[in-house]
A and B are shown apart, each in its own frame.
Chain A
Amino acid sequence: MNAWSIALDSIWHHKLRSTLTALGVVIGVFAVVTLTSLGSGVRNYITKQFDSFGADLITVAPAAPAAPHASGGSGKGGSGPFGGGRGFVQTPSTLTVADATAIAGLTADHVAAALPVATAAAQVQAGGTVAPVGVVMGVTAPYFAAEQLRFASGGVAAGFGSGVVLGHAVAAAVFPGGPAAALGQTLTINGKADQVVGVLAPAGNQFGTDPDSSVFVPVAQALALSGSRTVAQILVRADSTSGVNAAAAAITALMNRRHPLKDFVVVTAGQILKTIQSTLSVITGVLGGIAAISLLVGGIGIMNIMLVTVTERVREIGTRKAMGARDADILVQFLVESVLLALLGGAIGTGLSGLVGNVVGHIAKIPLGLTGSSVALALGFSVLVGAVFGVLPALNAARLMPADALRSE
């Protein structure tokens, strides 16, 4: 007897009940697949973003000096792999412009450019209004390209010796005429007049920095504003993605000589990416685990209905046994039915998840399609759920004495 066709028949003849039974698994699989593919989609998206702009970047940031009893190297500074957080410095910096110049000299070690970045807090005013400025950043001309910041108007000369570049939000607040109108306007930074030479296009928040509400001045000017000789961090660009690790090693060696206290960290984009990815993995795992609980509940739903089904179909079981069905035949029949129900639910849930993922991905502009592994995992789990929760009802059915089964009318 073909257990599959019997099961399909039975499922087809009780469409409403089958649908409701499978619904729990539909929801469970939908939740698991959606959350895991959301996680992996976001991961892929971030990886791609890093590849497109950050893969060749190395950040040298200040860190707490390595404690005498700690054997950790420079890479294990107190402030973690994010270093100074690109401008939000918790640890007093000892990095200088001279360090940046020295690093820039490592051209033999795949270093293409070293860009010192200084930060200062200052009051920026234009025509009597105080601009909503987060931070004044001292940068060199290549900084904008390295951070993928585009100009809405204007620009900076290769030397970037004077003038001020406004973040998009700052410009919009103090010069309502638009980016072009802001060019050439005068504003004051801590009372000192300066001329706007460029306005940035909107950039959004990027990993802890907020270019939109920053203003950018030459490094020397920012150092003068803060009255300090040290820069917040040094951005280094390697000449190629493959040269990043070699460059990072050379920089570490150089900086170890210049800063025997090892009060710095050298972080590559890859390391940052790894940290983000592992964090995302944990989040995805936890969410997936929670979703898996709903799959469990779906399985219990199947067991419930199958138990009811067995008592409802005692007559059928009795008839089959009277016609020569062995216990094993009945067991397989009901087991296959519950597995098929779960598989059906799993397939529907996976399909729904793919649909929702595509729609959400389209809106969020993140690729969130189904992955082969998530589909395989979901269907595998469905089969497992159907089998595990189908065993008890199927055993109940198989153990029925045919005479008892026929008597119960």
Chain B
Amino acid sequence: MVEADGPGDRPAPDGSSVSSVPFLSSVSATPAAPSAAALSTASGSGGGSGVPVADRSLLVQMRGITKSYGRGAAAVQALAGIDLEIRRGEMLALVGPSGSGKSTLMHVLGLLDRATGGTYRLGDRDVTRLGGPAAARLRGSRVAFVFQGIHLLPSLTALGNIELPMAYGRQPKGERRRRAREALERVGLPHLAHRYPGAMSGGQAQRVAVARAVAAGPEILLADEPTGALDRRSGRTVLALVQELHRTFGLTIVIVTHDPNVAAHAERIIQMEDGRITSDTPVRDRLFAEAEDAAPAGQGERAPA
């Protein structure tokens, strides 16, 4: 199912030696079988760039999404008509200055917030007006998050934190524990199973948070400045981890970031400004454009990978 796309074949981002990251050995040593169980919803899709993908169907379809806060004259429009399509197995970066609406877009994408207008289809389901328990169920199972602030619960161990979404999804305890251990191994931290977040480094905590996000086998991972609170080295490790998940399991990933280095890891970069998408560029085009101009290149078709 997953092509033999070993980590060594991958272009190492910003020259760092990716193979030194501890989790990689465990990932490459782990055959596809357990990960297929954990990522059953994404099982149809293959790896990242260069890998032929069976299922590239539409996962996210947004039409004219608006979001405003407040009423009347004091109203602030955070999203002013977003049209966005994301296919399964894509990895895209959402960039833009502060207040451009990228976090709001991520919240709407992740069903953490409801759009004021427009339509939003997730998979084959219209989730524009979805709220309450139905939205909560999707948040627990199909949409996963990694936050800048890491957001591990300090009163739970690494395993407890990883189990949290599955616990809210009412999964049986044994199954929960098994998947949590698997996920912790996948991020290369099995020895931290019973450690509390307070006793972890920032990088370790964020890797546990990534494990928490993917343990339940989501369809899409939303990462809001996942490296923003980390030092460069930890940031690189986490980023490599996210990319690994994308490559190995074809997990759909949206990364919100300020950092061009982070954005460079994506296949597609969406630039936002004032609640609008100002550009939507395949990453190679963008790299060429950046060479001569700081401003992003114009709207372009996605280059065939």
Contact A409 B132 (CB under 8 A): no
Contact A323 B133 (CB under 8 A): no
A158 at interface, CB cutoff 8 A: no
Interface of A is mostly: helix
Complex interface bits, A381-409 against B, C-beta within 8 A gives 1, otherwise 0 = 00000000000000000000111101101
B167 at interface, CB cutoff 8 A: yes
> Which of A315, A316, A323 makes the CB contact (< 8 A) with B140?
A323
Segment with Cβ contacts to A, from B47-55, B105-113, B182-190, B272-280? B105-113
Contact B140 A402 (CB under 8 A): no
Chain A residues near B133 (CB-CB < 8 A):
326-328
A90 at interface, CB cutoff 8 A: no
Contact A315 B168 (CB under 8 A): no
Contact B136 A324 (CB under 8 A): yes
Chain A residues near B104 (CB-CB < 8 A):
403
How far apart sit A321 and B168, CA to CA, in the bound complex (Å)?
9
Chain A residues near B141 (CB-CB < 8 A):
324
With contact pairs A316-B153, A319-B151 given, residues A401 and B164 touching in the complex (Cβ less than 8 Å):
no
> Which of A328, A402, A409 makes the CB contact (< 8 A) with B112?
A402
Least CB distance from A396 to B in Å reads: 17
Chain A residues near B151 (CB-CB < 8 A):
315, 318-319, 322, 406
B154 at interface, CB cutoff 8 A: yes
Contact A402 B132 (CB under 8 A): no
B81 at interface, CB cutoff 8 A: no
Contact B165 A324 (CB under 8 A): yes
A42 at interface, CB cutoff 8 A: no
> Which of B132, B139, B154, B155 makes the CB contact (< 8 A) with A322?
B139
Closest residue on chain A to residue B147 by CB atoms: A406
With contact pairs A315-B151, A327-B132 given, residues A1 and B139 touching in the complex (Cβ less than 8 Å):
no
Least CB distance from B15 to A in Å reads: 33
Chain B residues near A6 (CB-CB < 8 A):
155
Chain A residues near B149 (CB-CB < 8 A):
315, 409
Chain B residues near A1 (CB-CB < 8 A):
164, 167-168
Chain A residues near B169 (CB-CB < 8 A):
324
Closest residue on chain B to residue A325 by CB atoms: B168
Least CB distance from B266 to A in Å reads: 22
With contact pairs A320-B164, A403-B107 given, residues A326 and B132 touching in the complex (Cβ less than 8 Å):
yes
Least CB distance from A11 to B in Å reads: 10
Complex interface bits, B105-149 against A, C-beta within 8 A gives 1, otherwise 0 = 001001011000000000000000000110011011100010101
B246 at interface, CB cutoff 8 A: no
How far apart sit A6 and B132, CA to CA, in the bound complex (Å)?
22
> Which of A13, A323, A328, A401 makes the CB contact (< 8 A) with B165?
A323
A329 at interface, CB cutoff 8 A: yes
How far apart sit A401 and B135, CA to CA, in the bound complex (Å)?
12
B236 at interface, CB cutoff 8 A: no
A10 at interface, CB cutoff 8 A: yes
State how many residues of chain B have any CB contact under 8 Å with chain A: 28
How far apart sit A9 and B155, CA to CA, in the bound complex (Å)?
6
Closest residue on chain B to residue A8 by CB atoms: B155
B102 at interface, CB cutoff 8 A: no
Least CB distance from A281 to B in Å reads: 47
How far apart sit A407 and B137, CA to CA, in the bound complex (Å)?
21
Contact A325 B136 (CB under 8 A): yes
Closest residue on chain B to residue A14 by CB atoms: B155
How far apart sit A316 and B167, CA to CA, in the bound complex (Å)?
16
How far apart sit A407 and B78, CA to CA, in the bound complex (Å)?
14
Contact A322 B212 (CB under 8 A): no
Contact B113 A324 (CB under 8 A): no
With contact pairs A320-B168, A322-B110, A402-B112 given, residues A13 and B140 touching in the complex (Cβ less than 8 Å):
no
Contact A321 B112 (CB under 8 A): yes
Chain A residues near B165 (CB-CB < 8 A):
323-324
How far apart sit A329 and B165, CA to CA, in the bound complex (Å)?
12
Contact B145 A322 (CB under 8 A): yes
Least CB distance from B205 to A in Å reads: 13
Chain A residues near B112 (CB-CB < 8 A):
321-322, 401-403, 406
Chain B residues near A10 (CB-CB < 8 A):
155
Closest residue on chain A to residue B164 by CB atoms: A323
- Within 268-324 of A, Cβ neighbours of B (below 8 Å) are at 315-316, 318-324
Contact B137 A324 (CB under 8 A): yes
Closest residue on chain B to residue A401 by CB atoms: B113
Least CB distance from A319 to B in Å reads: 4
Contact B212 A323 (CB under 8 A): yes
With contact pairs A323-B212, A324-B137, A403-B112 given, residues A13 and B155 touching in the complex (Cβ less than 8 Å):
yes
Contact A329 B168 (CB under 8 A): yes
How far apart sit A404 and B113, CA to CA, in the bound complex (Å)?
8
Chain B residues near A9 (CB-CB < 8 A):
155-156
How far apart sit A401 and B132, CA to CA, in the bound complex (Å)?
10
Complex interface bits, A315-350 against B, C-beta within 8 A gives 1, otherwise 0 = 110111111111111000000000000000000000
How far apart sit A332 and B193, CA to CA, in the bound complex (Å)?
28
Residues of A participating in the B interface, judged by any CB pair closer than 8 Å: 1, 6, 9-10, 13, 315-316, 318-329, 401-404, 406-407, 409
Q: Which 6 A-B pairs have the closest CB atoms?
A: A324-B140, A403-B113, A324-B168, A403-B107, A326-B136, A403-B112
| Listed A/B pairs (14) with beta-carbon separation below 8 Å | A10-B155, A315-B149, A319-B147, A320-B153, A321-B139, A323-B140, A323-B165, A324-B141, A325-B136, A327-B133, A401-B113, A403-B107, A406-B151, A407-B103
Contacts A323-B168, A325-B168, A327-B133 known; list 10 others, CB within 8 Å: A9-B155, A9-B156, A319-B152, A323-B165, A323-B212, A324-B139, A324-B164, A324-B165, A326-B132, A406-B147
